[in-house]
Chains A and B, each alone.
Chain A
């Protein structure tokens, strides 16, 4: 693993082979597009097929709602309680994945050979965030169970969050990526996480779940710190490399 960006024999750019590029551009003039239209054809097809598509999946019916009148359930949790359960499920999955992402980053920092061993302050910071992500996961299990829902189920938004996290996971677990790449990946996680907790508190309040909203405030405060920490670590790392 390299620690920073280095000059080398990158083969991807058109300027690497100007003669080839010139002849490739020229032949396109002779053999141009054989189907009329433009990129909007793809957009139109997507629009059309979105109308025919099903859904990712459904929010499981909470155990507490079984046998309960819909009106009673709504009274307890506001209209469309499944919206809150879906988002709680999303955050639960995200935090659970977050633990694993920080573990990957810790391994990356440990692998960095500075000659003096890995940076102990950075490792401690990452370990603290990792532990807090796990606390948040348990907090969300509590919240989902409090609503009588199943914390082991994958809600549609949880599933989609898993798809979003795929790229981040690939970057963090690739042994060739450096600390800066990892920080950048974590920044996308923390930016989204921060906004999501803020919204989740509002949603819990709006659904009349004051206990849950209150319990989430501490997590949100910690997430704000996570974001500030990752932004600052990234800034320090990049500016240090430039100077």
Chain B
């Protein structure tokens, strides 16, 4: 156990020294073939966190004139951080291959978070969502095999299983059953707040990515599949977003977000084995510390409170970027039939009738996830390899 406060003692790089060139923003990408899958996992995750940092600050600015300038100044840097990170993805990833990588992020990072989360209800929520992203991976893997003739494991590199989870056809719920109870800002551990901000950010980026690339597909079933899964990702943003306490002020949410970014970059620095990418994580960790310090100063001025009220306490450990296979299998075995009714987790039989009605409507003209994955069993080298003459 160690506190983030130790990390925060480092003042980082002052905002005015956080500078880029266009060439740095579009630097040499990672190798789809030679880099470890977890390097790509970190790239995708950190892109999502920076994207959400922009999102939160834009909304904050809409409600607060006096904060508009400092927020714009920090956003300028965060936008460039996001660009430098996202541009690490090489152009030989097809949109569907990148999708498989996005689902690997959702599975492995959410599984790590679920195990680190001290609040049982919040941890249950992560396990619940995890089984859905796990199923998305299976459906997209079938699509990749049957559309592009490619093996999803070329992207996953043996870290993540490709089997059905909670069937995608049953993810479609009424909004009433997507909302969750929130943590209480005065009682919740710092890591609980960090987790909720992080996973909401990651799911938001997945939703936006699917919404952008879905129409790029020519195949009519692929277009439907992206429409179907993007809809579930919107539900996930609803679910995870509602875990956060709505009574937190904007400044409190901002501090938590900055702390979450520091925590995530720190985790990346600790575990990255690509030296060039590691140097980027180190640089951006210093940038984040600079941004956090600035946010703390503003917090003191505006709310006249000590930032330690928000950022005090310990965090169990850094995000573990490794295969969570055994944990995920256990959750599949024990919780695949779990459903929701309102904010509560219930058995399949007790699922909210509102969700059943909504699902019946949406699935009335066929279920794309079922069409693409009919009879699909993953094999190394694609399903065609089982027909060896």
Binding site for B on A (CB under 8 A): 8-14, 16-17, 20-21, 23-25, 27-28, 30-39, 41-42, 45-46, 49-50, 53, 163, 170, 174, 176
Q: Which residues of B are found within 8 Å of A163, using beta-carbon distances? A: 218
> Please, how many angstroms separate the alpha-carbon atoms of A141 and B35 in the complex?
47
Q: Which residues of A are found within 8 Å of B92, using beta-carbon distances? A: 170, 174
Contact B372 A42 (CB under 8 A): yes
B366 on interface, CB distance cutoff 8 Å: yes
A31-B371 in contact given A11-B36, A23-B325, A174-B92 (Cβ < 8 Å):
no
Give residues of chain B (192-242) contacting chain A, Cβ–Cβ below 8 Å: 218-221
CB distance from A8 to the nearest CB of B (A): 6
CB distance from B49 to the nearest CB of A (A): 25
B157 on interface, CB distance cutoff 8 Å: yes
Q: Which residues of B are found within 8 Å of A16, using beta-carbon distances? A: 157-158
Interface pairs A-B: 10 shortest CB-CB: A37-B374, A20-B158, A14-B380, A17-B158, A41-B374, A31-B163, A49-B220, A38-B375, A12-B154, A34-B164
A24-B332 in contact given A14-B381, A45-B221, A46-B220 (Cβ < 8 Å):
no
> Please, how many angstroms separate the alpha-carbon atoms of A64 and B370 in the complex?
51
Binding site for A on B (CB under 8 A): 32-37, 90-92, 146, 153-155, 157-159, 161-164, 167, 218-221, 323, 325, 329, 332, 366, 370-381, 383
CB distance from B311 to the nearest CB of A (A): 38
Contact A45 B366 (CB under 8 A): yes
Contact A25 B379 (CB under 8 A): yes
> Please, how many angstroms separate the alpha-carbon atoms of A160 and B179 in the complex?
45
> Please, how many angstroms separate the alpha-carbon atoms of A217 and B36 in the complex?
53
* SS class, residues of chain B in contact with chain A: loop
> Please, how many angstroms separate the alpha-carbon atoms of A13 and B157 in the complex?
7
A24-B371 in contact given A10-B34, A31-B332, A33-B377 (Cβ < 8 Å):
no
A10-B33 in contact given A24-B162, A28-B378, A31-B163 (Cβ < 8 Å):
yes
> Please, how many angstroms separate the alpha-carbon atoms of A14 and B380 in the complex?
6
> Can you name 19 A-B residue pairings with CB atoms under 8 Å?
A11-B157, A12-B32, A13-B154, A14-B381, A20-B159, A24-B158, A27-B329, A28-B377, A30-B163, A33-B164, A33-B373, A33-B374, A33-B377, A34-B373, A35-B374, A41-B371, A46-B220, A50-B220, A170-B92
> Please, how many angstroms separate the alpha-carbon atoms of A10 and B37 in the complex?
11
Which residue of the partner chain, among B163, B167, B371, contacts A27 with CB atoms under 8 Å?
B163
> Please, how many angstroms separate the alpha-carbon atoms of A32 and B386 in the complex?
14
Closest A residue by C-beta to B326: A23
> Please, how many angstroms separate the alpha-carbon atoms of A25 and B34 in the complex?
23
CB distance from B341 to the nearest CB of A (A): 23
A28-B90 in contact given A37-B374, A38-B374 (Cβ < 8 Å):
no
Contact A14 B153 (CB under 8 A): yes
A12-B164 in contact given A23-B325, A35-B373 (Cβ < 8 Å):
no
CB distance from A176 to the nearest CB of B (A): 7
Q: Which residues of B are found within 8 Å of A50, using beta-carbon distances? A: 220
CB distance from B72 to the nearest CB of A (A): 34
Q: Which residues of A are found within 8 Å of B220, using beta-carbon distances? A: 45-46, 49-50, 53
CB distance from B147 to the nearest CB of A (A): 8
CB distance from B171 to the nearest CB of A (A): 14
> Please, how many angstroms separate the alpha-carbon atoms of A176 and B162 in the complex?
31
Which residue of the partner chain, among A21, A36, A38, A39, contacts B158 with CB atoms under 8 Å?
A21
> Please, how many angstroms separate the alpha-carbon atoms of A45 and B223 in the complex?
12
CB distance from A177 to the nearest CB of B (A): 9
Q: Which residues of B are found within 8 Å of A21, using beta-carbon distances? A: 153, 158, 380
A36-B379 in contact given A11-B157, A12-B33, A27-B163 (Cβ < 8 Å):
no
Closest A residue by C-beta to B155: A12
> Please, how many angstroms separate the alpha-carbon atoms of A46 and B34 in the complex?
35
Contact A42 B158 (CB under 8 A): no
Contact A45 B371 (CB under 8 A): yes
Q: Which residues of B are found within 8 Å of A45, using beta-carbon distances? A: 220-221, 366, 371
> Please, how many angstroms separate the alpha-carbon atoms of A12 and B374 in the complex?
26
Which residue of the partner chain, among A14, A33, A53, A174, contacts B376 with CB atoms under 8 Å?
A33
> Please, how many angstroms separate the alpha-carbon atoms of A27 and B37 in the complex?
21
CB distance from B298 to the nearest CB of A (A): 42
> Please, how many angstroms separate the alpha-carbon atoms of A8 and B35 in the complex?
11
CB distance from B284 to the nearest CB of A (A): 24
Contact B167 A34 (CB under 8 A): yes
CB distance from B87 to the nearest CB of A (A): 13
Known: A20-B323, A163-B218. 14 other contacts (CB 8 A): A8-B34, A10-B33, A11-B35, A11-B36, A14-B380, A14-B381, A21-B158, A24-B161, A36-B374, A39-B146, A39-B376, A41-B371, A42-B371, A49-B221
